[in-house]
Protein backbone atom coordinates (compact mmCIF):
# COMPACT_ATOMS: atom_id res chain seq x y z
CA UNK A 1 0.00 0.00 0.00
CA UNK A 2 1.19 3.53 -0.81
CA UNK A 3 -0.18 6.80 0.49
CA UNK A 4 -1.16 9.74 -1.72
CA UNK A 5 0.37 12.66 0.15
CA UNK A 6 -2.05 15.46 -0.70
CA UNK A 7 -0.34 17.87 1.66
CA UNK A 8 3.07 17.48 -0.02
CA UNK A 9 1.56 17.59 -3.52
CA UNK A 10 -0.40 20.73 -2.64
CA UNK A 11 2.85 22.35 -1.42
CA UNK A 12 4.56 21.45 -4.72
CA UNK A 13 1.73 22.97 -6.74
CA UNK A 14 1.68 26.08 -4.56
CA UNK A 15 5.40 26.52 -5.24
CA UNK A 16 4.68 26.27 -8.98
CA UNK A 17 1.93 28.90 -8.64
CA UNK A 18 4.24 31.13 -6.58
CA UNK A 19 6.89 31.00 -9.32
CA UNK A 20 4.30 32.05 -11.86
CA UNK A 21 3.12 34.92 -9.67
CA UNK A 22 6.72 36.13 -9.30
CA UNK A 23 6.99 36.13 -13.08
CA UNK A 24 3.71 38.08 -13.38
CA UNK A 25 5.09 40.61 -10.89
CA UNK A 26 8.33 40.96 -12.86
CA UNK A 27 6.32 41.55 -16.01
CA UNK A 28 4.08 44.03 -14.14
CA UNK A 29 1.04 41.97 -15.04
CA UNK A 30 -2.19 41.57 -13.09
CA UNK A 31 -1.67 39.83 -9.72
CA UNK A 32 -4.46 37.29 -9.08
CA UNK A 33 -6.99 38.50 -6.51
CA UNK A 34 -9.43 36.15 -4.78
CA UNK A 35 -12.28 37.30 -2.53
CA UNK A 36 -14.05 35.04 -0.05
CA UNK A 37 -17.41 35.74 1.56
CA UNK A 38 -17.97 34.08 4.93
CA UNK A 39 -21.35 34.31 6.63
CA UNK A 40 -21.81 33.44 10.30
CA UNK A 41 -19.44 31.43 12.44
CA UNK A 42 -19.67 27.80 11.38
CA UNK A 43 -16.32 26.49 12.75
CA UNK A 44 -15.60 24.25 9.74
CA UNK A 45 -16.34 27.08 7.27
CA UNK A 46 -14.15 29.45 9.26
CA UNK A 47 -11.32 26.99 9.14
CA UNK A 48 -11.68 26.37 5.36
CA UNK A 49 -11.85 30.07 4.55
CA UNK A 50 -8.87 30.82 6.78
CA UNK A 51 -6.91 28.18 4.92
CA UNK A 52 -7.95 29.65 1.54
CA UNK A 53 -6.88 33.17 2.53
CA UNK A 54 -3.60 31.91 4.04
CA UNK A 55 -2.85 29.98 0.86
CA UNK A 56 -3.43 33.11 -1.24
CA UNK A 57 -0.85 34.95 0.83
CA UNK A 58 1.53 32.00 0.55
CA UNK A 59 1.56 32.10 -3.26
CA UNK A 60 1.59 35.89 -3.53
CA UNK A 61 -2.05 36.42 -4.54
CA UNK A 62 -4.08 39.29 -3.23
CA UNK A 63 -7.03 38.27 -1.10
CA UNK A 64 -10.08 39.94 0.40
CA UNK A 65 -12.17 38.40 3.14
CA UNK A 66 -15.72 39.69 3.58
CA UNK A 67 -17.21 38.53 6.89
CA UNK A 68 -20.82 39.10 7.85
CA UNK A 69 -22.83 37.67 10.68
CA UNK A 70 -25.81 35.34 10.49
CA UNK A 71 -28.28 38.22 10.62
CA UNK A 72 -27.44 39.32 7.05
CA UNK A 73 -30.47 39.28 4.77
CA UNK A 74 -30.54 37.43 1.47
CA UNK A 75 -30.77 40.75 -0.37
CA UNK A 76 -27.74 42.14 1.45
CA UNK A 77 -25.73 39.09 0.41
CA UNK A 78 -26.98 39.37 -3.18
CA UNK A 79 -25.81 43.02 -3.14
CA UNK A 80 -22.34 41.91 -2.01
CA UNK A 81 -22.26 39.37 -4.84
CA UNK A 82 -23.29 42.07 -7.33
CA UNK A 83 -20.50 44.36 -6.11
CA UNK A 84 -17.94 41.56 -6.41
CA UNK A 85 -19.19 40.75 -9.92
CA UNK A 86 -18.56 44.36 -10.89
CA UNK A 87 -15.32 44.99 -8.98
CA UNK A 88 -12.65 44.95 -11.69
CA UNK A 89 -9.82 44.41 -9.27
CA UNK A 90 -11.24 41.03 -8.16
CA UNK A 91 -10.55 38.13 -10.52
CA UNK A 92 -12.65 35.53 -8.76
CA UNK A 93 -14.64 34.99 -5.58
CA UNK A 94 -16.37 32.35 -3.53
CA UNK A 95 -19.30 32.41 -1.14
CA UNK A 96 -18.52 29.77 1.45
CA UNK A 97 -21.30 27.18 1.90
CA UNK A 98 -23.39 26.27 3.79
CA UNK A 99 -25.30 29.53 4.19
CA UNK A 100 -27.76 30.26 7.02
CA UNK A 101 -31.17 28.63 6.48
CA UNK A 102 -32.97 31.89 5.63
CA UNK A 103 -30.75 32.39 2.57
CA UNK A 104 -31.39 30.48 -0.65
CA UNK A 105 -28.01 29.02 -1.67
CA UNK A 106 -29.16 28.39 -5.21
CA UNK A 107 -30.22 31.99 -5.65
CA UNK A 108 -26.83 33.20 -4.42
CA UNK A 109 -24.92 30.75 -6.65
CA UNK A 110 -26.96 31.86 -9.67
CA UNK A 111 -26.14 35.51 -8.90
CA UNK A 112 -22.38 34.93 -9.25
CA UNK A 113 -20.95 35.92 -12.63
CA UNK A 114 -19.73 32.62 -14.19
CA UNK A 115 -16.54 34.46 -15.22
CA UNK A 116 -15.69 34.97 -11.55
CA UNK A 117 -17.11 31.67 -10.26
CA UNK A 118 -13.78 30.08 -9.32
CA UNK A 119 -15.66 27.46 -7.24
CA UNK A 120 -17.19 26.20 -10.51
CA UNK A 121 -20.63 25.97 -8.86
CA UNK A 122 -22.65 28.10 -11.32
CA UNK A 123 -24.76 26.02 -13.76
CA UNK A 124 -22.93 27.67 -16.67
CA UNK A 125 -19.62 26.25 -15.43
CA UNK A 126 -21.25 22.95 -14.46
CA UNK A 127 -22.85 22.65 -17.90
CA UNK A 128 -19.61 23.50 -19.66
CA UNK A 129 -17.83 20.88 -17.56
CA UNK A 130 -20.44 18.28 -18.50
CA UNK A 131 -19.89 19.05 -22.18
CA UNK A 132 -16.10 19.10 -21.93
CA UNK A 133 -15.87 22.83 -22.65
CA UNK A 134 -13.34 25.15 -20.97
CA UNK A 135 -14.63 26.08 -17.51
CA UNK A 136 -13.67 26.40 -13.85
CA UNK A 137 -13.76 22.88 -12.46
CA UNK A 138 -15.18 22.52 -8.93
CA UNK A 139 -12.21 22.55 -6.58
CA UNK A 140 -12.52 19.14 -4.89
CA UNK A 141 -13.01 17.05 -8.07
CA UNK A 142 -10.27 19.14 -9.74
CA UNK A 143 -7.93 18.35 -6.83
CA UNK A 144 -8.72 14.64 -7.09
CA UNK A 145 -8.03 14.62 -10.85
CA UNK A 146 -4.68 16.32 -10.16
CA UNK A 147 -3.79 13.70 -7.55
CA UNK A 148 -4.65 10.84 -9.90
CA UNK A 149 -2.62 12.49 -12.65
CA UNK A 150 0.48 13.31 -10.61
CA UNK A 151 0.50 9.84 -9.04
CA UNK A 152 0.09 8.39 -12.55
CA UNK A 153 -2.95 6.32 -11.56
CA UNK A 154 -4.25 4.33 -14.53
CA UNK A 155 -7.90 5.17 -15.05
CA UNK A 156 -8.80 4.01 -18.56
CA UNK A 157 -11.29 1.16 -18.50
CA UNK A 158 -11.26 1.05 -14.71
CA UNK A 159 -14.44 0.71 -12.73
CA UNK A 160 -14.86 3.73 -10.50
CA UNK A 161 -17.47 3.94 -7.76
CA UNK A 162 -18.34 7.43 -6.53
CA UNK A 163 -20.13 7.52 -3.18
CA UNK A 164 -22.34 10.57 -2.81
CA UNK A 165 -24.23 12.71 -5.33
CA UNK A 166 -23.64 16.27 -4.09
CA UNK A 167 -23.40 19.12 -6.61
CA UNK A 168 -19.98 19.97 -5.19
CA UNK A 169 -18.25 16.57 -5.28
CA UNK A 170 -20.07 13.35 -6.21
CA UNK A 171 -22.03 14.47 -9.22
CA UNK A 172 -19.20 16.42 -10.99
CA UNK A 173 -16.67 13.72 -10.06
CA UNK A 174 -18.77 11.05 -11.78
CA UNK A 175 -18.97 13.18 -14.94
CA UNK A 176 -15.26 14.02 -14.97
CA UNK A 177 -14.08 10.44 -14.52
CA UNK A 178 -16.26 9.22 -17.35
CA UNK A 179 -14.90 11.90 -19.74
CA UNK A 180 -12.90 10.82 -22.78
CA UNK A 181 -9.65 12.13 -21.28
CA UNK A 182 -6.94 11.36 -18.79
CA UNK A 183 -7.70 11.04 -15.94
CA UNK A 184 -11.01 9.62 -17.08
CA UNK A 185 -12.31 6.97 -19.47
CA UNK A 186 -13.58 5.11 -16.38
CA UNK A 187 -16.77 3.14 -16.16
CA UNK A 188 -18.47 5.06 -13.38
CA UNK A 189 -21.13 3.97 -10.93
CA UNK A 190 -22.55 6.67 -8.68
CA UNK A 191 -23.99 5.29 -5.45
CA UNK A 192 -25.93 7.09 -2.72
CA UNK A 193 -28.17 6.65 0.30
CA UNK A 194 -30.93 4.95 -1.73
CA UNK A 195 -28.64 2.50 -3.53
CA UNK A 196 -29.45 -1.17 -2.94
CA UNK A 197 -26.54 -3.29 -1.73
CA UNK A 198 -24.04 -0.50 -1.59
CA UNK A 199 -21.30 -2.83 -0.33
CA UNK A 200 -21.55 -5.04 -3.41
CA UNK A 201 -21.24 -1.99 -5.68
CA UNK A 202 -18.18 -0.67 -3.82
CA UNK A 203 -16.58 -4.11 -3.86
CA UNK A 204 -16.49 -4.05 -7.68
CA UNK A 205 -14.54 -0.79 -7.79
CA UNK A 206 -10.94 -0.37 -8.94
CA UNK A 207 -11.20 3.24 -7.77
CA UNK A 208 -13.41 4.40 -4.89
CA UNK A 209 -14.21 8.08 -4.35
CA UNK A 210 -15.86 8.36 -0.92
CA UNK A 211 -17.81 11.59 -0.50
CA UNK A 212 -20.76 10.58 1.63
CA UNK A 213 -20.00 12.59 4.77
CA UNK A 214 -20.32 9.69 7.23
CA UNK A 215 -17.28 8.94 9.43
CA UNK A 216 -15.63 5.58 8.66
CA UNK A 217 -18.48 4.50 6.37
CA UNK A 218 -16.26 2.46 4.04
CA UNK A 219 -14.90 -0.57 5.82
CA UNK A 220 -12.26 -3.12 4.73
CA UNK A 221 -14.81 -5.82 3.87
CA UNK A 222 -16.41 -3.48 1.30
CA UNK A 223 -13.30 -2.92 -0.82
CA UNK A 224 -11.51 -4.99 -3.40
CA UNK A 225 -7.88 -5.96 -2.86
CA UNK A 226 -5.62 -3.45 -4.64
CA UNK A 227 -8.25 -0.71 -5.06
CA UNK A 228 -7.34 2.98 -5.17
CA UNK A 229 -9.17 4.80 -2.36
CA UNK A 230 -9.82 8.54 -2.43
CA UNK A 231 -11.36 9.78 0.82
CA UNK A 232 -13.14 13.13 0.52
CA UNK A 233 -14.70 13.06 4.01
CA UNK A 234 -13.66 15.62 6.60
CA UNK A 235 -15.75 14.66 9.63
CA UNK A 236 -15.27 16.04 13.11
CA UNK A 237 -15.59 13.37 15.80
CA UNK A 238 -15.45 14.08 19.52
CA UNK A 239 -12.08 13.34 21.06
CA UNK A 240 -11.44 14.51 24.60
CA UNK A 241 -7.78 13.60 24.33
CA UNK A 242 -7.32 16.48 21.85
CA UNK A 243 -6.97 20.05 23.08
CA UNK A 244 -9.68 21.23 20.65
CA UNK A 245 -12.03 18.41 21.72
CA UNK A 246 -12.34 16.71 18.33
CA UNK A 247 -10.32 15.04 15.60
CA UNK A 248 -10.86 14.83 11.86
CA UNK A 249 -11.67 11.48 10.28
CA UNK A 250 -12.58 10.53 6.73
CA UNK A 251 -15.43 8.53 5.23
CA UNK A 252 -13.07 5.54 5.10
CA UNK A 253 -11.90 3.35 7.97
CA UNK A 254 -8.31 4.18 7.14
CA UNK A 255 -6.29 1.65 9.17
CA UNK A 256 -8.16 -1.43 8.01
CA UNK A 257 -8.83 -0.28 4.42
CA UNK A 258 -5.24 0.83 3.82
CA UNK A 259 -4.01 -2.75 4.26
CA UNK A 260 -6.13 -3.79 1.25
CA UNK A 261 -5.68 -0.70 -0.94
CA UNK A 262 -2.89 -0.16 -3.47
CA UNK A 263 -3.12 3.62 -2.97
CA UNK A 264 -5.05 5.65 -0.41
CA UNK A 265 -5.48 9.25 0.69
CA UNK A 266 -5.24 10.03 4.42
CA UNK A 267 -7.50 12.41 6.37
CA UNK A 268 -6.26 14.98 7.13
CA UNK A 269 -3.52 15.59 4.57
CA UNK A 270 -5.17 14.04 1.50
CA UNK A 271 -7.92 15.62 -0.58
CA UNK A 272 -8.39 18.71 1.68
CA UNK A 273 -5.16 20.54 0.82
CA UNK A 274 -5.65 19.75 -2.88
CA UNK A 275 -9.07 21.47 -2.83
CA UNK A 276 -7.46 24.73 -1.77
CA UNK A 277 -4.75 24.40 -4.41
CA UNK A 278 -7.37 23.91 -7.11
CA UNK A 279 -9.12 27.09 -6.06
CA UNK A 280 -5.80 28.91 -6.45
CA UNK A 281 -5.34 27.41 -9.93
CA UNK A 282 -8.83 28.56 -10.94
CA UNK A 283 -8.10 32.05 -9.62
CA UNK A 284 -4.82 32.18 -11.55
CA UNK A 285 -6.70 31.10 -14.66
CA UNK A 286 -9.35 33.79 -14.04
CA UNK A 287 -6.69 36.49 -13.70
CA UNK A 288 -5.18 35.44 -17.01
CA UNK A 289 -8.65 35.33 -18.60
CA UNK A 290 -7.89 31.87 -19.95
CA UNK A 291 -11.50 30.68 -19.99
CA UNK A 292 -13.64 33.81 -20.41
CA UNK A 293 -12.38 37.02 -21.97
N1 LIG B 1 -18.32 24.31 1.39
C2 LIG B 1 -17.72 23.10 1.36
N3 LIG B 1 -16.86 23.04 0.31
C4 LIG B 1 -16.93 24.23 -0.32
C5 LIG B 1 -16.26 24.77 -1.45
O6 LIG B 1 -15.45 24.12 -2.12
N7 LIG B 1 -16.61 26.05 -1.78
C8 LIG B 1 -17.53 26.78 -1.09
N9 LIG B 1 -17.81 28.01 -1.50
N10 LIG B 1 -18.16 26.29 -0.02
C11 LIG B 1 -17.85 25.03 0.36
Predicted confidence at residue 233, as pLDDT, reads 97
Predicted confidence at residue 206, as pLDDT, reads 98
Assign domain 139-272 one CATH number from 3.30.9.10, 2.40.50.140, 3.40.50.10190, 3.40.50.720.
3.40.50.720
Mind listing the pLDDT tens digit for each residue in 132-148?
Answer: 999 999 999 999 999 99
Give the predicted TM-score (pTM) of the model: 0.97
Is the pLDDT assigned to residue 131 strictly greater than 90?
A: yes
Task: Work out the pLDDT band at 282, boundaries 50, 70, 90.
Answer: very high
Q: 159 CA to middle of ligand 1, Å? A: 27
Task: Work out the pLDDT band at 230, boundaries 50, 70, 90.
Answer: very high
Is the pLDDT assigned to residue 1 strictly greater than 90?
A: no
- Tell me whether the CATH fold assigned to 28-113 matches the one assigned to 139-272: yes
Mind listing the pLDDT tens digit for each residue in 257-269?
Answer: 999 999 999 999 9
Q: 62 CA to middle of ligand 1, Å? A: 20
Mind listing the pLDDT tens digit for each residue in 99-115?
Answer: 999 999 999 999 999 99
Is the pLDDT assigned to residue 185 strictly greater than 90?
A: yes
Please list every protein residue whose CB sits less than 6 Å from any atom of ligand 1: 94-97, 119, 139, 168, 275
What is the residue-averaged pLDDT of the chain? 97
Residue with the smallest CA separation from ligand 1 atom 11 is 97
Q: Where are the domains of the chain?
A: 28-113, 139-272
Query: β-strands 207-210, 187-191: how paired?
Result: unpaired
Determine the residue of 81, 97, 99, 120 to mutate for testing ligand 1's pocket, defined as the one with the most ligand atoms within 8 A of the Cβ atom: 97
Is the pLDDT assigned to residue 293 strictly greater than 90?
A: no
Determine the residue of 42, 53, 84, 94 to mutate for testing ligand 1's pocket, defined as the one with the most ligand atoms within 8 A of the Cβ atom: 94
Q: What CATH number belongs to 28-113?
A: 3.40.50.10860
Mean pLDDT over 223-242 rounds to 97
Residue with the smallest CA separation from ligand 1 atom 8 is 96
Q: Which residue from 9, 18, 3, 5 is spatially nearest to 280, judged by alpha carbons?
A: 18
Q: 45 CA to middle of ligand 1, Å? A: 8
Mind listing the pLDDT tens digit for each residue in 5-33?
Answer: 999 999 999 999 999 999 999 999 999 99
Amino acid sequence: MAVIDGKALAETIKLEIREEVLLLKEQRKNIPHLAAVLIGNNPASESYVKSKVRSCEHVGFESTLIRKDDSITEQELLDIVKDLNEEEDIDGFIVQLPLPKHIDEQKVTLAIDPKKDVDGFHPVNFGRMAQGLPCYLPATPFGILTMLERYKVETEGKHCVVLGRSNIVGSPMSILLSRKAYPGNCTVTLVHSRTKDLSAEIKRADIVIAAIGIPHFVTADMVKEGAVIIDVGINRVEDDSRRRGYRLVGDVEYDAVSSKASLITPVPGGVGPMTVTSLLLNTLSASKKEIYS
